Amino acid sequence: MSKEVTVPTLGESVSEATIGEWLKKPGDAVKADEPIVSLETDKVAIEVPSPVAGVMGEHKVAVGDTVEVGALIAVIEDDVAPGESTNVEPRTEAAPAEATAAPTPAPSPAADTGAPAQAKSQGSDATQTLSPAVRRAVLEHGVDPSSIKGSGKDGRLTKEDVLAAATAKKETGDSPAPAASTAPPTAGGGERREERVKMTRMRQTIAKRLKSAQETAALLTTFNDVDMTAVMETREKFKDTFAKKHDIKLGFMSFFAKAACLALKDIPSVNAQIDGEEIVYFDYVDISVAVSAPNGLVVPVVRDAHAKSFAQIEKDIADFGKRAKDGTLTMDDMKGGTFTISNGGVFGGLMSTPIINPPQSAVLGLHRIEDRPVVRNGEIVIRPMMYIALSYDHRLIDGREAVTALKTIKEAIEDPMRMLIDL
């Protein structure tokens, strides 16, 4: 007897998805509610659980195929003994077969194909399936995926895990992975490899939306710089007490979120949207926070940021960051948003011109903090400075309004007391 696995409801207005990764292979033992496949939608990756315990049967579709809601994608064979159905470990039944088959792949063709990461994951650890982004990172940095502890869901490797392992290898001076070093040289004496990876549905959507924003909106960016001294002193003074009381660290994002709320209240058009021939003004602020995920940039929404405390904003952002890394963000987490904050400073960016997140009309870009000489009271002093940028849709927001909004954010950060007394 077998059980069919179909594509579940994906969310409002989402009717199809792409098969991103099969987490179980035919013949693998599966538990009830254990994830067996990852589906990529326009915004998030969704894991589909097994409806019953049993053995993974035939895959009806392949990685990269587009499937609609309700479509049959796999079959679970219900032939596991009752006593084993709730505690069987994945791949234990396939282990003997792999052991006897080991002599066949024993030579090292993996090194010849230039794909050590994939071969390693399929040989020494058959339960570890690498996503295209992770596999590409493994190849680029020459690390052994079987030696890295995954921090993703169910212990799976993420791109961040690979990058961290590569950094650690450089710091310790370890030699490159043998598989990578034994790849055959080209006629020129060096290694030249290429890999073609199909764009994920999420990356395709990001590309289309950003290009559409450039073609539709009249984009313009205004800049300013911010003296971070007051905020840094405030964080240093209250960080221990804040963490003890709220069980969360006091970061910079909550300051900029509250400063943005102050500016958007004074300049409503920066928090507005164009809908056809109408302008929609919001009396609330839902801030989309750009978060880096293994499959691309996602923008979950901190709702009612204007009414939330610093602590609650920090908790929301920390939760989004963790779930983005684990791949557990939902469609509802990304829905809506009236304004976006993107922090390129965490990657070392000094300055940028961020692109708005349609249908929003403005986005605030944050950058790295660095000590620079500035003039204060007629004297040159060193201060921790940050460039901030506001990109906006000039069809709706005039230059005066954009500059005023950015200046309000600057003043609130340089004097945090303004956020407390609403100035």
State the CB neighbour count (10 A cutoff) for residue 49: 14
394 is catalytic: yes
Residue 253 DSSP label: H
Buried b (16+ CB within 10 A) or exposed e, 187-222: eeeeeeeeeeeeebbbbebbeeeeeebeeebebebb
Burial environment of residue 278 by CB neighbours within 10 A (0 to 12, 13 to 18, 19 or more): exposed
Cα 363 vs. chain centroid, distance in angstroms? 18
Q: Which of 283, 398, 415, 422 is catalytic?
A: 398
> For 287, how many CA atoms within 13 A lie in the half-sphere containing its CB?
32
Contact 100, 68 (CB under 8 A): no
What residues contact 419, with CB distance under 8 A and at least 6 apart?
255, 258, 259, 262, 412
Q: Which of 62, 52, 79 is nearest to 25 (CA)?
A: 62
Question: Which two structure tokens, joined as six digits, stand for 139?
Answer: 């190849």
- Vertex 293 angle, CA 289 and 298, to 5°: 40
Phi and psi at residue 354, in whole multiples of 5°? -65, 155
In single-letter form, the type of residue at position 267 comes to: I
Q: Which of 62, 208, 45, 192 is nearest to 133 (CA)?
A: 45
Q: Strand 45-49 and strand 66-68: pairing?
A: unpaired
**For residue 359, is the peptide bond before it cis, meaning its omega torsion is within 30 degrees of 0?**
yes
Question: Which two structure tokens, joined as six digits, stand for 62?
Answer: 């392949």
State the CB neighbour count (10 A cutoff) for residue 71: 15
Q: Which of 65, 112, 394, 415 is catalytic?
A: 394
Which residues are catalytically annotated? 394, 398
